[in-house]
Structure 1
Amino acid sequence: MTALVAVAHGSRDPRSAATVHALLDVVRAMRPSLDVRASFLDLSVPLLGDVLRSARADGHRSAVVVPLLLGRAFHARVDVPGAVAEARVPALDVTISDVLGPDPRLESAALRRLASVGVRSGDRSLGVVLAGAGSSHAPANAAVSSIAARWAAGAGWAGVEAAFASSASPDVTTAVARLRARGARRIAVASWFLAPGLLPDRVARLAGDDVVVAPPLGPDPEVAELVLHRYGAAVASRLVHTA
């Protein structure tokens, strides 16, 4: 069977890798027969190339690399293909799946995380910030903004603003100020991050002590389901192209 090699960015924060492993434990529980392996681009181990070489050494002839990324920014477009090419694993057919986002299952997970800190739809006194990493690649930021706009139209809150931890604007402080200027008496931050780390911590710090901050998406069952969906689509695509 084709191995599933999930690849995350990696972080010096041990909570990040622990969350990735927890998510993949949920994936394994959903597909016990599937060989699911964790890897990282940088800062955490094992690195993607090492895991691909290990999969081949264990007898696999094909693998699907599933980027645990929420959008198609630099890591997805450059770093992941570069790491696969650099690995140069003979006799291992490697396919890279699409990234996780955008997808309604991620939105559902983010809303569940908000609900876990007491946020409910229909609260007209509440403003919500949807906070993502931010990117120099404008379409990646636009995808987050479009989700915020969709929530603003349907959730019944005082307003929803997208914000970014780096490389894009507005930042969280600005988004919070905009919501308060529009009459929001309370603020909550929804996390558009897969795992804890430097950028989610920056978001929480900028939000302020009086703002409720939801945890990252983490080992949510729908996120795990999405990982399997991306894997399955890549396997099907590879079979079509090789038939």
Structure 2
Amino acid sequence: MIPLVAVAHGSRDPRSAASIHGLLDVVRSLRPELDVRGCFLDLCAPRLSDVLRGPAVVVPLLLGKAYHARVDVPAAVAESRVPAVVTDVLGPDPRLESAALRRLSEAGVSFGDRSLGVVLAGAGSSHAPANEAVARVARRWARESGWAGVEAAFASIASPTVPEAVEKLRMKGATRIAVASWFLAPGLLPDKVASLAGDAVVAQPLGDDVEVAQLVLDRYDFAVARQTVAA
């Protein structure tokens, strides 16, 4: 069985690697017979080159198709000179939304609260389509949640910022604010979001959610099936 190599961005914050390894433990629990290897593009070990030693399916643990997905992962795989297939990133997918909403629920947020405004906070990218993917989720939640409003916000590069999104929600009548996380793991940017959120309720990153783990396996299975058909 071809190995699954899951590659995350990486962070100097040890909580980030711990969260990624926790997610991969869930993946292994769902598919015990599969060789699942975790690694990182930068800032912590192991690196992709350390675990990519032969044919494999590389699953980028990235929520959107920004620079790391479009450039860094393919370049790192090409540099390894092994016959690896790179899958699509995890997003967009309804299961990511479900995971983010579960984290909000765990933080005490419920649907239908007309006094509540929700910020959906992501990393931000110079690649506009990656930001728009997050904004689409926010617009869908705004239509379906019964909250006072939902606004996308970004921790870096893109706008609006978290304070700007909060101000928009206040203008829509929100008297309380919650922040949903569009981050896979803790780290510098999620901490920045929390620091800018004031007295808002801040949900945890998606982390070891079982639906995220199932999504990782789905990306793997789709790539394997395509390889089988091609063969």
Q: TM-score, structure 2 length as denominator?
A: 0.99
Alignment counterpart, residue 62 of structure 2, candidates 45, 54, 69: 69
Counterpart selection for 2:105 from 115, 123, 126: 115
Partner of 1:224: 213
1: CA distance, partners of 2:173 / 2:227: 52
- Hey, what's the Cα distance between the residues in 2 that align with 1:25 and 1:152? 33
> CA offsets per residue over residues 50-90 of structure 1, 9 Å max, x none?
1102xx3xxxxx2000000000000000000000011123x
In the TM superposition, residue 237 of structure 1 has moved relative to its aligned partner by 1.2
Residue in 2 aligned with 1:3? 3
Q: Deviations over 1:125-162 (max 9, x none)?
A: 00000000000000000000000000000000000000
Report the Cα distance in structure 1 between the residues aligned to 2:183 and 2:152, rounded to whole angstroms: 13
SS in 2 for 1:69: coil
Which runs of no fewer than 5 residues in structure 2 stay unpaired? none
- 1:160 alignment counterpart: 150
Aligned partners of 1:133 and 1:199 also within 8 Å: yes
Q: Show the 5 A alignment for 1:52-91.
A: 52-53=52-53, 56=54, 62-89=55-82
Structure 2 counterpart of 1:174: 164
Structure 2: which amino acid aligns with 1:206? L
Identity value in percent: 74
Q: What residue in structure 1 maps to residue 133 of structure 2?
A: 143
**Following the alignment from structure 1 to structure 2, what is the Cα–Cα distance between the partners of residues 137 and 239?**
33
Find the partner of 1:211 among 193, 196, 200.
200
- 2:72 is aligned with what amino acid? D
Structure 1 residues without counterparts, runs of 5 or longer: 57-61
Are positions 1:184 and 2:174 aligned together?
yes
CA distance in structure 2 between the aligned counterparts of 1:169 and 1:240, rounded to whole angstroms:
43
Match for 1:225: what amino acid? Q
1:24-49: CA deviations, max 9, x gaps? 00000000000000010000100001
Deviation at 1:170, TM superposition (A): 0.1
- The DSSP-based 3-state class of the residue aligned with 2:52 is helix
Q: Paired residue for 2:185, among 178, 181, 195? A: 195
CA contact (8 A) 1:50 1:87 kept: no
Q: Quick one: distance in 1 between partners of 2:219 and 2:18?
A: 22
Superposed displacement of residue 114, structure 1: 0.1
Listed one character per residue, the Cα deviations across residues 150-200 of structure 1 (whole Å, up to 9, x for unaligned) are 000000000000000011000001000110111100000000000000000
The 2-side partners of 1:71 and 1:194 are apart by 11
- Indicate which of 212, 224, 228 corresponds to 1:235: 224
What's 2:44 paired with?
A: 44
1:59 match? none
1:100 paired with 2:93, answer no
8 Å CA contact retained: 1:113, 1:190 = yes
SS of residue paired to 1:39? strand
**3-state SS, counterpart of residue 206 of structure 2:** coil
SS at match of 1:43: coil
Match of 1:132 among 113, 122, 136: 122
Report the RMSD for the aligned CA atoms in angstroms: 0.6
